[in-house]
Protein backbone atom coordinates (compact mmCIF):
# COMPACT_ATOMS: atom_id res chain seq x y z
CA UNK A 1 0.00 0.00 0.00
CA UNK A 2 0.98 3.63 -0.51
CA UNK A 3 0.27 6.65 1.64
CA UNK A 4 0.74 10.31 0.86
CA UNK A 5 3.44 12.28 2.67
CA UNK A 6 4.70 15.82 2.09
CA UNK A 7 4.49 16.00 -1.73
CA UNK A 8 5.26 12.26 -1.92
CA UNK A 9 3.95 8.69 -1.76
CA UNK A 10 5.02 5.95 0.68
CA UNK A 11 4.76 2.21 0.00
CA UNK A 12 4.29 -0.38 2.77
CA UNK A 13 4.98 -3.35 0.50
CA UNK A 14 8.54 -4.71 1.24
CA UNK A 15 8.84 -6.18 -2.25
CA UNK A 16 8.65 -2.79 -3.94
CA UNK A 17 11.76 -0.91 -4.98
CA UNK A 18 11.17 2.76 -5.73
CA UNK A 19 13.18 5.49 -7.33
CA UNK A 20 13.26 8.67 -5.30
CA UNK A 21 12.26 11.77 -7.21
CA UNK A 22 12.01 15.12 -5.41
CA UNK A 23 8.35 16.08 -5.01
CA UNK A 24 7.41 12.60 -6.30
CA UNK A 25 7.53 9.24 -4.33
CA UNK A 26 8.77 8.60 -0.79
CA UNK A 27 8.78 5.25 1.14
CA UNK A 28 8.82 4.64 4.93
CA UNK A 29 9.62 0.92 4.64
CA UNK A 30 13.34 0.27 5.47
CA UNK A 31 13.38 -2.72 3.07
CA UNK A 32 12.65 -0.48 0.14
CA UNK A 33 15.63 0.91 -1.78
CA UNK A 34 15.38 4.47 -3.04
CA UNK A 35 17.57 6.40 -5.48
CA UNK A 36 17.53 10.14 -6.06
CA UNK A 37 16.98 11.34 -9.66
CA UNK A 38 17.25 15.09 -10.33
CA UNK A 39 14.08 16.80 -11.46
CA UNK A 40 13.66 17.28 -15.21
CA UNK A 41 12.26 20.70 -14.53
CA UNK A 42 15.31 21.93 -12.63
CA UNK A 43 18.39 20.19 -14.17
CA UNK A 44 21.57 20.00 -12.20
CA UNK A 45 24.80 21.65 -13.31
CA UNK A 46 26.11 18.29 -14.56
CA UNK A 47 23.17 17.90 -16.94
CA UNK A 48 23.69 21.21 -18.73
CA UNK A 49 25.58 20.86 -22.02
CA UNK A 50 29.26 21.63 -21.70
CA UNK A 51 28.92 23.79 -24.80
CA UNK A 52 26.30 25.98 -23.12
CA UNK A 53 28.52 26.44 -20.05
CA UNK A 54 31.35 27.89 -22.14
CA UNK A 55 31.81 31.68 -22.29
CA UNK A 56 29.98 33.33 -25.19
CA UNK A 57 33.22 34.41 -26.86
CA UNK A 58 34.48 30.82 -26.85
CA UNK A 59 31.22 29.46 -28.28
CA UNK A 60 31.35 32.00 -31.12
CA UNK A 61 34.95 31.00 -31.82
CA UNK A 62 33.92 27.35 -32.07
CA UNK A 63 31.10 28.23 -34.46
CA UNK A 64 33.58 29.82 -36.89
CA UNK A 65 34.93 26.32 -37.62
CA UNK A 66 31.51 25.02 -38.78
CA UNK A 67 30.17 25.01 -42.31
CA UNK A 68 26.81 26.56 -43.09
CA UNK A 69 24.68 23.43 -42.71
CA UNK A 70 26.38 22.47 -39.43
CA UNK A 71 25.76 25.99 -38.15
CA UNK A 72 22.06 25.73 -39.01
CA UNK A 73 21.82 22.30 -37.36
CA UNK A 74 23.49 23.57 -34.18
CA UNK A 75 21.13 26.54 -34.02
CA UNK A 76 18.14 24.17 -34.10
CA UNK A 77 19.16 22.34 -30.90
CA UNK A 78 18.03 24.93 -28.36
CA UNK A 79 16.77 28.48 -27.99
CA UNK A 80 20.00 29.79 -26.43
CA UNK A 81 22.19 28.57 -29.32
CA UNK A 82 19.62 29.68 -31.87
CA UNK A 83 19.68 33.23 -30.51
CA UNK A 84 23.47 33.28 -30.28
CA UNK A 85 24.09 31.90 -33.80
CA UNK A 86 21.39 34.06 -35.37
CA UNK A 87 23.17 37.20 -34.21
CA UNK A 88 26.76 36.03 -34.68
CA UNK A 89 28.01 37.76 -37.83
CA UNK A 90 31.50 36.41 -37.17
CA UNK A 91 30.22 32.83 -37.49
CA UNK A 92 28.32 33.50 -40.72
CA UNK A 93 31.22 35.48 -42.13
CA UNK A 94 33.52 32.46 -41.71
CA UNK A 95 30.98 30.38 -43.68
CA UNK A 96 30.97 32.89 -46.56
CA UNK A 97 34.73 33.56 -46.66
CA UNK A 98 35.66 30.66 -49.03
CA UNK A 99 33.30 32.08 -51.65
CA UNK A 100 34.12 35.75 -51.10
CA UNK A 101 37.91 35.51 -50.86
CA UNK A 102 38.10 33.51 -54.10
CA UNK A 103 35.82 35.86 -56.06
CA UNK A 104 36.32 39.43 -54.86
CA UNK A 105 38.70 41.63 -56.86
CA UNK A 106 41.64 42.57 -54.70
CA UNK A 107 40.65 46.24 -54.64
CA UNK A 108 37.13 45.50 -53.32
CA UNK A 109 36.80 45.49 -49.50
CA UNK A 110 35.31 42.42 -47.88
CA UNK A 111 31.61 42.85 -47.04
CA UNK A 112 28.26 41.07 -47.26
CA UNK A 113 26.84 43.64 -49.73
CA UNK A 114 24.44 43.60 -51.50
CA UNK A 115 22.97 41.54 -48.65
CA UNK A 116 22.32 43.08 -45.20
CA UNK A 117 24.40 40.50 -43.38
CA UNK A 118 26.58 37.45 -43.96
CA UNK A 119 23.74 35.34 -42.59
CA UNK A 120 21.40 36.73 -45.25
CA UNK A 121 24.03 36.08 -47.91
CA UNK A 122 24.37 32.43 -47.00
CA UNK A 123 20.68 31.72 -46.49
CA UNK A 124 19.79 33.47 -49.77
CA UNK A 125 22.13 31.21 -51.76
CA UNK A 126 22.00 28.20 -49.47
CA UNK A 127 20.47 25.85 -52.06
CA UNK A 128 23.38 26.48 -54.41
CA UNK A 129 26.19 26.86 -51.87
CA UNK A 130 27.87 23.81 -53.46
CA UNK A 131 28.50 25.89 -56.61
CA UNK A 132 31.73 27.30 -55.25
CA UNK A 133 34.28 29.28 -57.29
CA UNK A 134 36.32 27.03 -59.55
CA UNK A 135 37.11 25.88 -63.06
CA UNK A 136 34.87 23.50 -65.02
CA UNK A 137 35.35 21.69 -68.34
CA UNK A 138 32.65 20.43 -70.69
CA UNK A 139 32.31 17.61 -73.22
CA UNK A 140 31.18 19.63 -76.23
CA UNK A 141 31.87 17.56 -79.36
CA UNK A 142 35.56 17.64 -80.30
CA UNK A 143 36.08 21.24 -79.18
CA UNK A 144 35.21 20.98 -75.49
CA UNK A 145 34.55 24.04 -73.33
CA UNK A 146 35.91 25.77 -70.25
CA UNK A 147 33.98 27.70 -67.59
CA UNK A 148 34.90 29.71 -64.52
CA UNK A 149 32.42 29.94 -61.62
CA UNK A 150 32.48 32.78 -59.11
CA UNK A 151 30.40 34.93 -56.78
CA UNK A 152 29.36 38.24 -58.34
CA UNK A 153 29.73 40.79 -55.53
CA UNK A 154 27.72 43.38 -57.46
CA UNK A 155 24.57 41.33 -58.05
CA UNK A 156 24.93 38.85 -55.18
CA UNK A 157 24.58 35.92 -57.58
CA UNK A 158 26.60 32.77 -58.13
CA UNK A 159 27.58 32.67 -61.81
CA UNK A 160 29.57 30.75 -64.38
CA UNK A 161 30.91 32.23 -67.61
CA UNK A 162 32.41 30.36 -70.53
CA UNK A 163 35.95 31.51 -71.28
CA UNK A 164 37.59 31.66 -74.69
CA UNK A 165 41.07 32.20 -76.04
CA UNK A 166 41.24 35.16 -78.43
CA UNK A 167 44.35 35.39 -80.58
CA UNK A 168 44.47 38.25 -83.07
CA UNK A 169 46.76 36.88 -85.77
CA UNK A 170 46.56 40.13 -87.75
CA UNK A 171 48.47 41.84 -84.92
CA UNK A 172 51.03 39.05 -84.57
CA UNK A 173 54.66 39.33 -85.43
CA UNK A 174 55.67 37.18 -88.42
CA UNK A 175 57.37 33.84 -87.93
CA UNK A 176 60.99 34.29 -86.97
CA UNK A 177 63.89 31.95 -87.51
CA UNK A 178 65.26 30.11 -84.52
CA UNK A 179 68.82 31.25 -83.94
CA UNK A 180 69.92 27.67 -83.19
CA UNK A 181 68.45 26.31 -86.45
CA UNK A 182 67.30 28.83 -89.10
CA UNK A 183 65.13 26.18 -90.77
CA UNK A 184 62.91 26.11 -87.66
CA UNK A 185 60.38 28.88 -87.11
CA UNK A 186 59.12 30.36 -83.85
CA UNK A 187 55.68 31.98 -83.78
CA UNK A 188 54.83 34.84 -81.46
CA UNK A 189 51.88 34.02 -79.17
CA UNK A 190 50.20 36.75 -77.13
CA UNK A 191 46.66 35.50 -76.43
CA UNK A 192 43.97 37.07 -74.29
CA UNK A 193 41.08 35.42 -72.48
CA UNK A 194 37.51 36.64 -72.86
CA UNK A 195 34.24 35.62 -71.18
CA UNK A 196 30.76 35.01 -72.49
CA UNK A 197 28.71 38.24 -72.49
CA UNK A 198 26.03 36.75 -70.23
CA UNK A 199 26.44 34.11 -67.53
CA UNK A 200 25.95 30.57 -68.79
CA UNK A 201 24.78 29.63 -65.29
CA UNK A 202 23.24 32.03 -62.76
CA UNK A 203 21.82 31.31 -59.30
CA UNK A 204 20.08 34.08 -57.36
CA UNK A 205 17.81 34.17 -54.27
CA UNK A 206 14.82 33.93 -56.63
CA UNK A 207 16.11 30.91 -58.55
CA UNK A 208 13.66 28.02 -58.52
CA UNK A 209 13.64 24.54 -59.98
CA UNK A 210 11.17 24.05 -62.79
CA UNK A 211 9.85 21.13 -64.78
CA UNK A 212 11.95 17.94 -64.50
CA UNK A 213 14.12 19.63 -61.86
CA UNK A 214 15.66 21.87 -64.53
CA UNK A 215 16.45 25.56 -63.97
CA UNK A 216 16.01 28.08 -66.82
CA UNK A 217 19.16 30.11 -67.43
CA UNK A 218 19.77 33.52 -69.06
CA UNK A 219 18.98 33.49 -72.76
CA UNK A 220 22.07 33.98 -74.90
CA UNK A 221 22.42 36.98 -77.24
CA UNK A 222 22.04 34.55 -80.17
CA UNK A 223 18.66 33.33 -78.97
CA UNK A 224 19.87 30.08 -77.43
CA UNK A 225 17.67 28.75 -74.62
CA UNK A 226 19.47 26.96 -71.79
CA UNK A 227 18.41 24.99 -68.75
CA UNK A 228 20.62 23.74 -65.93
CA UNK A 229 20.13 20.34 -64.33
CA UNK A 230 22.04 18.06 -62.01
CA UNK A 231 24.03 14.94 -62.83
CA UNK A 232 24.50 11.86 -60.68
CA UNK A 233 27.95 10.36 -60.23
CA UNK A 234 28.43 6.76 -61.27
CA UNK A 235 29.71 4.56 -58.46
CA UNK A 236 33.38 3.60 -58.92
CA UNK A 237 32.52 -0.11 -58.76
CA UNK A 238 30.18 0.39 -61.73
CA UNK A 239 33.08 1.50 -63.93
CA UNK A 240 33.85 -1.98 -65.13
CA UNK A 241 35.97 -1.33 -68.21
CA UNK A 242 38.22 1.56 -69.36
CA UNK A 243 36.29 2.21 -72.57
CA UNK A 244 33.06 3.20 -70.80
CA UNK A 245 31.67 6.46 -72.16
CA UNK A 246 32.13 8.67 -69.10
CA UNK A 247 32.68 12.33 -68.39
CA UNK A 248 35.25 13.25 -67.49
CA UNK A 249 37.19 10.41 -69.10
CA UNK A 250 39.59 8.50 -66.90
CA UNK A 251 42.53 10.31 -68.49
CA UNK A 252 41.61 13.34 -66.34
CA UNK A 253 41.67 12.82 -62.54
CA UNK A 254 38.27 13.56 -60.98
CA UNK A 255 36.32 12.94 -57.78
CA UNK A 256 33.12 12.09 -59.69
CA UNK A 257 32.30 10.76 -63.15
CA UNK A 258 28.99 10.31 -64.89
CA UNK A 259 27.57 8.62 -67.97
CA UNK A 260 28.23 10.51 -71.17
CA UNK A 261 25.31 9.25 -73.25
CA UNK A 262 21.57 8.79 -72.79
CA UNK A 263 18.80 7.69 -75.18
CA UNK A 264 16.39 10.04 -73.36
CA UNK A 265 18.59 13.13 -73.34
CA UNK A 266 19.17 12.60 -69.61
CA UNK A 267 15.55 13.45 -68.76
CA UNK A 268 14.78 12.08 -65.33
CA UNK A 269 18.44 11.19 -64.80
CA UNK A 270 18.39 12.70 -61.28
CA UNK A 271 15.00 12.24 -59.63
CA UNK A 272 16.09 13.51 -56.21
CA UNK A 273 18.49 16.40 -55.75
CA UNK A 274 20.09 14.61 -52.79
CA UNK A 275 21.49 12.13 -55.35
CA UNK A 276 23.18 14.88 -57.36
CA UNK A 277 26.94 15.32 -57.51
CA UNK A 278 28.40 18.67 -56.48
CA UNK A 279 31.18 18.18 -59.04
CA UNK A 280 28.99 17.65 -62.10
CA UNK A 281 26.08 19.32 -63.88
CA UNK A 282 24.49 19.45 -67.32
CA UNK A 283 23.24 22.16 -69.65
CA UNK A 284 20.44 21.52 -72.12
CA UNK A 285 20.49 23.96 -75.04
CA UNK A 286 18.18 24.54 -77.98
CA UNK A 287 16.98 27.24 -80.34
CA UNK A 288 13.27 28.05 -80.26
CA UNK A 289 11.26 30.41 -82.40
CA UNK A 290 7.65 30.98 -83.43
CA UNK A 291 6.07 31.64 -86.77
CA UNK A 292 2.59 32.13 -88.23
CA UNK A 293 1.99 28.41 -88.66
CA UNK A 294 3.05 27.12 -85.24
CA UNK A 295 3.16 28.10 -81.58
CA UNK A 296 6.80 27.22 -81.28
CA UNK A 297 9.56 25.26 -82.95
CA UNK A 298 12.52 23.73 -81.14
CA UNK A 299 15.67 22.96 -83.09
CA UNK A 300 19.12 21.60 -82.39
CA UNK A 301 18.67 20.40 -78.83
CA UNK A 302 21.88 19.13 -77.28
CA UNK A 303 23.10 18.33 -73.78
CA UNK A 304 26.54 19.21 -72.49
CA UNK A 305 27.98 17.51 -69.40
CA UNK A 306 30.32 19.66 -67.31
CA UNK A 307 32.76 18.57 -64.61
CA UNK A 308 34.64 20.47 -61.93
CA UNK A 309 38.40 20.41 -62.39
CA UNK A 310 39.95 19.30 -59.10
CA UNK A 311 41.54 22.13 -57.17
CA UNK A 312 44.93 20.46 -56.85
CA UNK A 313 45.14 20.01 -60.64
CA UNK A 314 45.34 23.76 -61.27
CA UNK A 315 47.04 24.90 -58.07
CA UNK A 316 50.74 25.64 -57.93
CA UNK A 317 52.86 23.21 -55.96
CA UNK A 318 56.64 23.42 -55.35
CA UNK A 319 56.97 19.67 -55.94
CA UNK A 320 54.95 19.82 -59.19
CA UNK A 321 55.99 23.21 -60.64
CA UNK A 322 54.29 22.87 -64.05
CA UNK A 323 50.93 21.65 -62.77
CA UNK A 324 48.05 23.91 -63.85
CA UNK A 325 45.91 25.16 -66.73
CA UNK A 326 47.87 26.52 -69.68
CA UNK A 327 46.99 28.06 -73.02
CA UNK A 328 48.86 27.00 -76.16
CA UNK A 329 49.22 28.01 -79.78
CA UNK A 330 47.70 25.51 -82.23
CA UNK A 331 48.15 27.61 -85.37
CA UNK A 332 45.02 27.53 -87.57
CA UNK A 333 42.96 26.10 -84.70
CA UNK A 334 43.83 29.09 -82.52
CA UNK A 335 44.64 29.01 -78.83
CA UNK A 336 43.51 26.02 -76.78
CA UNK A 337 43.37 25.38 -73.04
CA UNK A 338 45.55 22.52 -71.85
CA UNK A 339 45.85 20.82 -68.46
CA UNK A 340 49.47 20.25 -67.47
CA UNK A 341 49.08 17.20 -65.23
CA UNK A 342 51.99 15.84 -63.21
CA UNK A 343 50.94 12.42 -61.86
CA UNK A 344 54.50 12.06 -60.55
CA UNK A 345 57.27 14.54 -59.95
CA UNK A 346 59.06 13.72 -63.19
CA UNK A 347 56.16 12.99 -65.57
CA UNK A 348 54.19 15.66 -67.40
CA UNK A 349 50.98 14.97 -69.34
CA UNK A 350 49.54 17.82 -71.42
CA UNK A 351 45.82 17.00 -71.75
CA UNK A 352 43.55 19.16 -73.88
CA UNK A 353 40.66 20.81 -72.05
CA UNK A 354 39.54 22.38 -75.33
CA UNK A 355 40.44 20.79 -78.64
CA UNK A 356 40.05 20.88 -82.39
CA UNK A 357 38.82 18.59 -85.20
CA UNK A 358 42.19 16.84 -85.33
CA UNK A 359 43.09 16.21 -81.70
CA UNK A 360 39.91 16.83 -79.65
CA UNK A 361 39.35 17.72 -76.01
CA UNK A 362 40.32 15.17 -73.33
CA UNK A 363 43.19 13.77 -75.42
CA UNK A 364 46.93 14.08 -74.95
CA UNK A 365 48.64 16.97 -76.69
CA UNK A 366 52.11 15.83 -75.65
CA UNK A 367 53.77 13.78 -72.91
CA UNK A 368 57.11 14.10 -71.12
CA UNK A 369 58.23 10.84 -69.54
CA UNK A 370 61.12 12.24 -67.50
CA UNK A 371 61.37 15.91 -66.59
CA UNK A 372 64.58 15.27 -64.67
CA UNK A 373 66.50 14.13 -67.76
CA UNK A 374 68.01 17.20 -69.41
CA UNK A 375 68.95 16.72 -73.07
CA UNK A 376 70.69 20.08 -73.23
CA UNK A 377 70.71 23.58 -71.77
CA UNK A 378 69.84 26.39 -74.17
CA UNK A 379 72.61 28.80 -75.08
CA UNK A 380 70.71 30.45 -77.96
CA UNK A 381 69.59 34.06 -77.55
CA UNK A 382 65.85 33.27 -77.33
CA UNK A 383 65.90 31.31 -74.05
CA UNK A 384 69.38 31.24 -72.50
CA UNK A 385 69.70 28.79 -69.64
CA UNK A 386 66.41 26.98 -70.31
CA UNK A 387 66.46 23.19 -69.93
CA UNK A 388 65.35 20.99 -72.83
CA UNK A 389 63.70 17.62 -72.19
CA UNK A 390 62.47 14.90 -74.53
CA UNK A 391 58.75 14.69 -75.26
CA UNK A 392 56.22 12.91 -77.46
CA UNK A 393 53.80 15.06 -79.48
CA UNK A 394 50.33 13.84 -80.46
CA UNK A 395 49.05 14.38 -84.00
CA UNK A 396 46.02 13.17 -85.95
CA UNK A 397 44.10 13.64 -89.14
CA UNK A 398 40.59 15.08 -89.28
CA UNK A 399 38.12 13.60 -86.75
CA UNK A 400 41.00 12.15 -84.74
CA UNK A 401 41.88 9.50 -87.31
CA UNK A 402 45.38 8.06 -87.77
CA UNK A 403 46.51 9.53 -84.48
CA UNK A 404 50.13 8.93 -83.55
CA UNK A 405 52.95 10.19 -81.32
CA UNK A 406 56.21 11.55 -82.69
CA UNK A 407 59.44 12.74 -81.00
CA UNK A 408 59.41 16.37 -79.88
CA UNK A 409 61.17 18.52 -77.30
CA UNK A 410 59.90 20.73 -74.52
CA UNK A 411 61.90 23.85 -73.66
CA UNK A 412 61.35 24.73 -69.99
CA UNK A 413 61.75 28.52 -70.07
CA UNK A 414 60.10 29.14 -66.68
CA UNK A 415 57.32 27.73 -64.52
CA UNK A 416 54.89 30.00 -66.40
CA UNK A 417 56.26 29.70 -69.95
CA UNK A 418 57.36 26.72 -72.07
CA UNK A 419 58.02 26.14 -75.77
CA UNK A 420 57.13 22.93 -77.59
CA UNK A 421 59.47 22.06 -80.47
CA UNK A 422 57.77 19.94 -83.14
CA UNK A 423 60.81 18.43 -84.81
CA UNK A 424 59.00 16.95 -87.82
CA UNK A 425 57.08 20.20 -88.45
CA UNK A 426 60.06 22.53 -87.90
CA UNK A 427 57.87 24.68 -85.63
CA UNK A 428 58.14 25.88 -82.03
CA UNK A 429 54.87 26.63 -80.23
CA UNK A 430 54.53 28.72 -77.08
CA UNK A 431 52.46 27.77 -73.99
CA UNK A 432 51.57 30.22 -71.21
CA UNK A 433 50.17 29.48 -67.76
CA UNK A 434 46.63 30.70 -67.02
CA UNK A 435 46.13 32.39 -63.66
CA UNK A 436 42.91 30.73 -62.50
CA UNK A 437 42.77 32.70 -59.24
CA UNK A 438 42.82 35.94 -61.24
CA UNK A 439 40.04 34.67 -63.53
CA UNK A 440 37.83 33.86 -60.56
CA UNK A 441 38.36 37.40 -59.26
CA UNK A 442 37.19 38.82 -62.58
CA UNK A 443 40.69 39.47 -63.98
CA UNK A 444 42.20 38.65 -67.37
CA UNK A 445 43.95 35.45 -66.26
CA UNK A 446 47.19 36.12 -68.15
Q: Read off the pLDDT of residues 142-181 as tens digits, 9 standing for 90 and up.
A: 999 999 999 999 999 999 999 999 876 655 556 789 999 9
In this prediction, residue 10 has a pLDDT band, given cuts at 50, 70 and 90, of very low
State how far the alpha carbon of 109 is from the alpha carbons of 91, 153, 166, in Å: 19, 10, 31
Beta strand pairing status for 387-397 and 376-377?
antiparallel
User: What whole-number distance in Å separates Cα of residue 241 and Cα of residue 245?
Assistant: 10
By mean pLDDT, which of 16-20, 155-159, 344-348 is the weakest? 16-20
- pLDDT mean across residues, the chain: 85
**Sign of the dihedral defined by the CA atoms of residues 291, 294, 296, 299, in that order:** negative
Residue 20 has what pLDDT? 41
Nearest CA-CA partner of 422 in 399, 401, 398, 394: 394
| Highest mean pLDDT out of 21-30, 47-56, 175-184, 374-383 | 374-383
Lowest mean pLDDT among 121-135, 161-175, 253-267, 345-359: 161-175
Q: What is the structure's pLDDT at 25?
A: 38
Q: Out of 14-18, 155-159, 318-322, 408-412, which region has the weakest mean confidence (pLDDT)?
A: 14-18
Phi, psi of 337 (to 5 degrees): -85, 135
- Sign of the CA dihedral with 244 first, then 280, 261, and 238 last: positive
Amino acid sequence: MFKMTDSAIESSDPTITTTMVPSAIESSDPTITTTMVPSAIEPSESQISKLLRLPTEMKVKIFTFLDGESLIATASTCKQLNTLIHGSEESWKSVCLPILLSSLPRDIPLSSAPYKSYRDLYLSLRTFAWFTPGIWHGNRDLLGSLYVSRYNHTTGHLEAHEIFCVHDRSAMLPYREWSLSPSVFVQDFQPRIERSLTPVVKFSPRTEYGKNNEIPQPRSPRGMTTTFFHAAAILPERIVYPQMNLWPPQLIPADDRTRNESPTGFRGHVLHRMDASTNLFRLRRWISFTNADSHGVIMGERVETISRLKHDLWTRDPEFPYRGVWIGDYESHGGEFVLFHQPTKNRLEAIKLTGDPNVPRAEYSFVVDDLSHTERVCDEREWPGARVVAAQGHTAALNFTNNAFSPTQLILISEDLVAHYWINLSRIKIFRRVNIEDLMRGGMGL
